[in-house]
Amino acid sequence: MKLLSLIIPTYNMEALLPRCLDSLLVPETLERLEAIVVNDGSRDGSLTVANGYRERFPQTVTVIDKPNGNYGSTINAALPVAQGKFVKILDSDDWFDTAALVAFLDKLEKAEADMVVTHFTILHDEGTRELTKYNVYGREPYDYGRVYPLDDVLRDGYIRYFLMHALAYRTGLLRGMGYRQTEGISYTDTEWACYPVFYAKDIVFFDINLYQYNLAREGQTMDPKVMARSLGQMEQMTRQLLSFYGAQEPGRLSPTRQDFLRQYYTNRIRLMYKSHLLDIPRRQFDAAHFAELDAELSAACRRYGFGPVRLYPANKVIRADALRYWHRHHRRWPRWFEGLNHIVDKVMTWFFIHIFKR
């Protein structure tokens, strides 16, 4: 039995897949690691590259070749065959710190928890690196390596570490809950970070900076230009999340977990509002469509007890609520005010990364 199964979704990543796999395949990992490369109908040489690694490392690398079905379909194809005690996702345009991976496997030897959290680094296109780790207002409140009941951790309400790059799960947890991701659209890694929280019992944190998240690649799904074109998929993903929430049995979750999930979902809805009111270019903003979406999301907030939703700028300097402005005037902020906000956003982001995240 392997310690860790890595699911590596791959679509047209011929040039970047070698960097990803080379970061994993060293003598200290080969017996304990399973790398499942899922080729999602690539039109370049990704499959050839993957098969080359499988021939060189047959005890570690598995290749699944399937028609294109987008991100979630690759996870659904890999989970049934995963042999690891734990499972984690690694996108093929990203990579792991190799020394951190060896340390992570050492920790997993004795780990007994449903959820495992590690640090990750975000690499920005201007060359800056941002270390992301679990903390509450700059304080790291939990002992690394100690297993905590998940409700004890959720009580503090902090959600920043609930991103795919930080999370690994006990494989048996995902199989036991019948985990599946939505197919045919992007941004379904949100489900990976959300659905298991409904079922997991305990959690452990390791002081290991494992995942190297490459935001610098042009054309990746978090590229602002790509996101602006993909708002429909993000809306569909939000509907899937709300449907999952609504399907849960009333009373099955503890009050602590219910409170946390309401906060989590409120934040997800806030991100949808932010995408429309603050992020996309004004020329792409469709007021009629947004009015319908606002009515849909507002109804969900009332139905499930989320909110209230406030939409303040990320810079935390300008304290103006963009959603409240919309409800009063049925339009976005004036052009000059949006321009001022974007300037302040950039300045505060620079200070945050260069001063607090170095």
pLDDT digits (tens, 9 = 90+) for 318-353: 889 999 999 999 999 999 999 898 898 888 877 766
d(CA 168, CA 86): 7
Place of tokens 């079905």: 69
Per-residue pLDDT, 181: 96
**Residue 161: strand, helix, or coil:** coil
Question: Distance of CA 324 to CAs 122, 173, 235, 264, 331, Å?
Answer: 32, 41, 20, 21, 10
So what's the pLDDT on residue 124?
85
Q: Which residue matches tokens 């996870």?
A: 75
Residue 345 burial (C-beta neighbours within 10 Å; 0-12, 13-18, 19+): middle
- Amino acid code (one letter) for 119: H
Burial (Cβ within 10 Å: 0-12, 13-18, ≥19) of residue 98? middle
Fold of 4-214: Spore Coat Polysaccharide Biosynthesis Protein SpsA; Chain A (3.90.550)
Q: Which residues pair with 209 in a beta bridge?
A: 119
Residue 187's pLDDT is 87
Whether the bond into 308 is cis, omega within 30 of 0: yes
Return the structure tokens found at 171. 């494989």
Provide the residue ranges of all domains of the chain, joining segments of one domain with +: 4-214, 224-356
Mapped onto helix, strand or coil, the DSSP state of residue 86 is: strand
- Which pLDDT belongs to residue 221? 52
Residues of the chain with pLDDT under 50: none
Please give the model's pTM, rounded to 2 decimal places.
0.90
pLDDT score for 213 = 95
